[in-house]
Structure 1
Amino acid sequence: MTAGVGVAAMAVLAAGYPAQAADKKWVLVAHEGFDRPLRVDGKPWRLDPQGPKSPWNVGPFDDDGEAWTKMSGPLFQRQLRTLNVFRKRVAFGTEGWLTAEVAAVDKDKDGRPDSRPGLSTASLPGGQKAARISEPSWDAGVLIRPTRPLPEHYRVEMTLRGIDFGGKRNGTFDYNGRHNGYTKEACKTRYPWTFQGALPGKTRCQYPDVTRENGFYYMTILDYATPAPHGNPGIHFRRKVIMDGYYSDDERWKDAATCNPKTRKMYRTFDGTFNGVNALFPRGDKFREAANNNISNEYYAKTSCGNASMDRRYGPGGKFEGHLTSAEIRPELMPKASYRFAIERDRTGYTLEMSGPFLHVGQATLRVHHDFVEDGRPIWHYNQKADEYDGRFDRKLVHKGPAGTYTTEHAWPKGSAYPDSFIIGDPHLNYYEGQAYVDDIRLYVPKGEK
């Protein structure tokens, strides 16, 4: 459904960063400014043993999860045995309140990762310190997350000082010897993780190419305590609210739209710079059955150009389909300029906020709120406690693959509970490549709840 266009959909506030950080209702309880050297890259790699005893196991949609085997038969396990995954889990910050999760694939099984992703301290041109997320190869991932789940009510924010994870620069995807942020070697594919499991008759290099799709998670909330990089389908089942960048000129997004916050009118994403920010609420009542085999939720977007449920056409005359992106950042302005991304959880729902010099509108703060259940539409797995949810949106989901099916008997049962944990970076082991500079991660709670 397409809601009416209105300012209430996403507030466009005055120029400059929000007053939220100084607002009397918030109390700062944790802060990382990256002034002290990070000790992540020097830590040793650990081989992920896979299976239920792995410290990184996350159930049936894990890297070696039961779901993929049921959908693929023995082919998936054979393909998975062609590689290893090495990992690091390193706590840092005051009292270790943050954790770096770093992972890389070892495709030739020579006992070491094929690339060297990492998180390190970097100096910006003005001398200011920041954290550099470095991912030189697509078959790796780097995340920053909280060491412990977030409190019941909170505001978490980070400042972005620079990004090079794809998108256009000066009107082209080809720059600095790369295409869409990827180096130009052959055989950069999704192998072995797809939404249907293994692909019969396909070798590693015959799997779908990934270089038309790059991206970065600015700030996203997942529904479990220990997020880490995994094969990309699994995370689509774990997101509560999303602020990310997805930079793709794939033909399936040819009718997607981006909002111009100044005119409050949508334009074709393909007519922009491919540097948009998605502010999305995964729906707990609808799933992408055809495209993603019931593994990915449908999304609901709110922007200053209007609201859209992206399971159908939207916008004036129903001319758009696919993502509705909230605004476009301008990477060329960083680090002199910066962007702040924040998520708040209060007693009613979630608020997504982004601030910075956006294309078309200039310096602005964009905020959008969605109740836990709004107009009968629930945010997926919003409840941190069992008594916050009565089971009304529970359902069976059937996931079909080339060799069989896997069934999620209860996708959201009564008595379930899902902690909030944020991620910043790249959670995919078979997608995304580049680097970003992150600064000033802050956690606030409402006054009186410290």
Structure 2
Amino acid sequence: MRRRRELTPALGLGVGLAVVLTLTTGPSAASASDSADGGADASVDETFRPGWELKYRELFDEEDLDIDMDEIPWKLDNYENVYDTISDDDGDAYWGEMGMGFGQAIRSFRTWEKTKEIGEDNWITVALTGRQQDLTSGKNQPERPGVFHVIRQPETGNIVAELRSDDPTAGAMIRNTRPMPAEYRMEYTVTRYEMGGERYDPETGEWSMWTEHPGFEYGDDGEYSIAPGTPRWNGFTVTDALGRENCKNQYPWPDSQTNAYTVPQCGRGNWNPLNYGGAGYNGLHALTVTDVQNPMPRNLHFWHYHRKVLMDQFATDPDRNNNGAVCNSETGTLTRMQETHRNGVNPWVSGRMNGFNSAGGYYEVGRMAGQSQRFFSDCNNSVPDPDHPGRMIYEDTTTNAPRAMAQSDPRFFPYIPYTFAVERSELGYTLEWSGMFQDVGWHTYRYYRPFILNNNPVWRYNAYPGDHYDGRYNGYARSTTNQFNPDGTRQGNSTKRTWPDMWHANSAYPDFVMMGIEYTNSTEGWLQFDDVRMYEPADNRPAVSILGKGRVDNWHGQQPQLDIEVINLEETVPNVDITVTTDYGTQTFTNVRPDAHPNARFKVNGPIPDGVATVTATKGDQTHTIEVPYEGIDSLQLTTEVSGKCYADRARMDYKVTNTDDVAAEDVTVTTPQGTRTFPSIAPGATVNVSIGTRSDTVPEGTFTVAATAGGDPVEYPFTKDVEYQYTAAPFACDD
């Protein structure tokens, strides 16, 4: 049980918020008897996942602090090793649309890259890129490249890895080194990401798009460094590495056709600006499954044509016209994204290329190749799962703007992490995202998507030849824009550029899973992460497959709360009944469908010691029991007393609060039905009394609340205690 700990505010996260947080165990499950009466085993394996066996795990430690990417020389990307000829960095689509203007643009800089394999059997590859924008410097390296390093997190003291891009031209990601197997689970834990969206200032109590950069050194002599305190808007600093304003844009791969090749890179409104205006946005691509082999960071349009499934955060500029919405899974309601703090998170799948003409057998490619984006949320409709009769799943929805699953809550960085996971089975993908979400609290979301649902496929899902694919979505791609001739003149409207076989029957696209910053012309910021895991299929499913997670927190800012979340990992019906038993009561959930995740919440007056919850799941005549441990907190110790008396014909109440702790109680607030009183401090052993009239001749039943924080060392929580008072005299009347 954790009593007190010192916390250091960083990046605008003040102690006033930090002290209400606690770090507890992550996902926990235990093997148990599969008999009808259950019977949990005492041993707990926190890496256990029903149906999966851990193959690799990368936990960054002291030795990893010595990883030095600077020892690896930068290699010039000369665009010879292309992934495709359409939308790769030197792709035909850009030459066809912009002609010699694109040639001038792409020759105005150099792109550099480097990789490093890490972990057991070198199973992870770090991939970094950067752009050299000053070709007169004589330096064969980028000014502000992508960064990977292992650091000791200042707020927690934990060792974590960091991927960083302090310019939208830099990419930084990790991925699997070898193709993923036909079935797998990949997951990792992110403790902080700063890739746009509003941030909360505990001193003002307000949210803002403005934040401050902590500072970072770039260049051999620090000549391209960013000073601590440099302002950031939606995650972007104002100037680039060369000190230029109005240069953070999509150059030279613009998102919309604006004849951008006729204007310089830097200039107000040029090349679809990212850090302001109608095209402005930032975001984190936390986990992407791609059809590209051995991928490296690339331009935005390239990835819009090469993703299978994705989990991202999308942070739009306030001036961007965004019709997207955010789902509240507790209420089932949608809120316009413009009315939120712009921390919407999106799990989604990529459908087939846009513009499919089934009669002609081709895809119409407007400016660039792209796929339909199909979003998941609990606000979507439920539809039958074609792979598992009787099972219902959430249908993915295609819209002209994202429909976010929820809003992440950066107020809890880096103390409460997010876990991202993707599973590939024989029949489909499952996306999983767990952590703390605004308006919802601590939660896990899971969405299963068959490879084909209602004739909508996951793009290039076939990882190996014959992998449930018969070529039905193949076709050639045909450009709809007027193309440039080599001499710089425009071709006529009847001339169309074509590319054959977008998805032929004998194709195969093994999965590569990318985590980090994959764009090289769109996003800026950094993420800190740990505990990267890869699982392979295993025959270890218990009679009823469930997973339990335990956490103690007070995310709502009131009294301590114990959360026991249970995830139904069964893939078939009948649905499951779940019972959660703790020292603070029992809660039961019936008819829990696959991938659902009920959360048993127990509010507690006072401390919550370390403990274990018992979870029993029943499916038909099968029962399985697990034990879920949790780490408690020792909150401030206060006792309360209520009494009443009559003065003439009016009742008067006395509310007493005694500090039985060994530290002072500060900022004490006593809230009663008759009013509120505050006290700067209550010394150890001291008592305060709130005597207050009711203006009534009777005393109704009711509650009063005491809220306080501990003096001296900070504790995990402000203390809140709800006390019910009731009088045996019936009624308590002063005129009797």
Q: Contact 2:364/2:479 (CA < 8 Å) preserved in 1?
A: no
Out of 261, 265, 271, the residue aligned to residue 204 of structure 1 is 265
Superposition TM-score, scaled by structure 2 size: 0.55
Alignment of 1:427-446 (within 5 A): 427-446=518-537
Alignment of 1:331-410 (within 5 A): 331-388=410-467, 389-401=469-481, 403-404=483-484, 406-410=497-501
Deviation readout 1:370-407 (Å, 9 max, x if unpaired): 10011211110000122121000112322344534542
Q: Give me the whole-angstrom Cα distance separating, in 2, the residues matched to 1:141 and 1:164.
A: 15
Offset of 1:120 from its aligned partner? 0.3
Q: Which residue of 2 aligns with 1:300?
A: 374
Q: 1:400 to 1:83 in 2, by over 3 A?
A: farther
SS in 2 for 1:78: helix
Note if 1:214 corresponds to 2:282.
yes
Offset of 1:292 from its aligned partner? 6.2
Q: Which runs of 5+ in 1 are unaligned?
A: 1-14, 313-320
Offset of 1:149 from its aligned partner? 1.0
Q: 1:63 to 1:18 in 2, by over 3 A?
A: farther
Q: Give me the whole-angstrom Cα distance separating, in 2, the residues matched to 1:407 and 1:250.
A: 38
Note if 1:190 corresponds to 2:220.
no
SS in 2 for 1:263: coil
Give the letter for the 2:535 counterpart.
Answer: Y
Q: Contact 1:162/1:437 (CA < 8 Å) preserved in 2?
A: yes
Q: Give me the whole-angstrom Cα distance separating, in 2, the residues matched to 1:166 and 1:21.
A: 32
Offset of 1:216 from its aligned partner? 1.1
Q: Which residue of 2 aligns with 1:34?
A: 60
Q: Which residue of 1 aligns with 2:211?
A: 175
Note if 1:264 corresponds to 2:332.
yes
Q: 1:348 to 1:281 in 2, by over 3 A?
A: same
Offset of 1:303 from its aligned partner? 1.1
Q: 1:347 to 1:21 in 2, by over 3 A?
A: farther
Out of 131, 135, 152, the residue aligned to residue 161 of structure 2 is 131
Q: 1:18 to 1:248 in 2, by over 3 A?
A: farther
Note if 1:240 corresponds to 2:308.
yes
Q: Contact 2:145/2:171 (CA < 8 Å) preserved in 1?
A: no
Out of 492, 499, 516, the residue aligned to residue 425 of structure 1 is 516
Note if 1:49 corresponds to 2:85.
no
Alignment of 1:222-237 (within 5 A): 222-237=290-305
Q: Contact 1:150/1:421 (CA < 8 Å) preserved in 2?
A: yes
Q: Contact 2:352/2:459 (CA < 8 Å) preserved in 1?
A: yes
Q: Contact 2:349/2:374 (CA < 8 Å) preserved in 1?
A: yes
Q: 1:201 to 1:116 in 2, by over 3 A?
A: closer
SS in 1 for 2:88: coil
Q: Give me the whole-angstrom Cα distance separating, in 1, the residues matched to 2:255 and 2:528.
A: 31
Q: 1:253 to 1:41 in 2, by over 3 A?
A: farther
SS in 1 for 2:376: strand
- Percent sequence identity is 29
**Structure with the higher helix share, 1 or 2:** 1
If asked which structure has higher relative contact order (CA below 8 Å, sep 6+), I would say 1
Structure 1, 341-350 or 266-275: larger mean CA deviation: 266-275
SS in 2 for 1:234: helix
Q: Give me the whole-angstrom Cα distance separating, in 1, the residues matched to 2:295 and 2:532.
A: 17
Give the letter for the 1:437 counterpart.
Answer: Q
Alignment of 1:83-94 (within 5 A): 83-94=109-120
Q: 1:403 to 1:293 in 2, by over 3 A?
A: closer
Note if 1:326 corresponds to 2:405.
yes
Q: Contact 2:52/2:539 (CA < 8 Å) preserved in 1?
A: no
Structure 1, 294-303 or 57-66: larger mean CA deviation: 57-66
Larger radius of gyration, structure 1 or 2?
2
Offset of 1:41 from its aligned partner? 3.7
Alignment of 1:137-156 (within 5 A): 137-156=167-186
Q: Give me the whole-angstrom Cα distance separating, in 1, the residues matched to 2:403 and 2:437.
A: 16
Q: Contact 1:287/1:294 (CA < 8 Å) preserved in 2?
A: no
SS in 1 for 2:71: coil
Q: Give me the whole-angstrom Cα distance separating, in 2, the residues matched to 1:41 and 1:221.
A: 28
Q: Give me the whole-angstrom Cα distance separating, in 1, the residues matched to 2:537 and 2:396.
A: 31
Q: Give me the whole-angstrom Cα distance separating, in 2, the residues matched to 1:420 and 1:96.
A: 17
Q: Contact 2:234/2:282 (CA < 8 Å) preserved in 1?
A: yes
Out of 476, 491, 503, the residue aligned to residue 412 of structure 1 is 503
Offset of 1:286 from its aligned partner? 3.9
Q: Which residue of 2 aligns with 1:12?
A: none
Out of 120, 124, 132, the residue aligned to residue 149 of structure 2 is 120
Q: Give me the whole-angstrom Cα distance separating, in 1, the residues matched to 2:366 and 2:411.
A: 34
Matched positions, count: 424
Q: Which residue of 2 aligns with 1:22?
A: 48
Q: Give me the whole-angstrom Cα distance separating, in 1, the residues matched to 2:365 and 2:235.
A: 25
Q: Give me the whole-angstrom Cα distance separating, in 2, the residues matched to 1:356 and 1:426.
A: 20
Q: Contact 1:32/1:440 (CA < 8 Å) preserved in 2?
A: yes
Q: 1:128 to 1:309 in 2, by over 3 A?
A: closer
Give the letter for the 1:201 counterpart.
Answer: T
Offset of 1:448 from its aligned partner? 5.4
Q: Give me the whole-angstrom Cα distance separating, in 1, the residues matched to 2:366 and 2:397.
A: 14
Q: Contact 1:258/1:327 (CA < 8 Å) preserved in 2?
A: yes
SS in 1 for 2:515: strand
Give the letter for the 2:179 counterpart.
Answer: P
Q: Give me the whole-angstrom Cα distance separating, in 1, the residues matched to 2:121 and 2:414.
A: 29
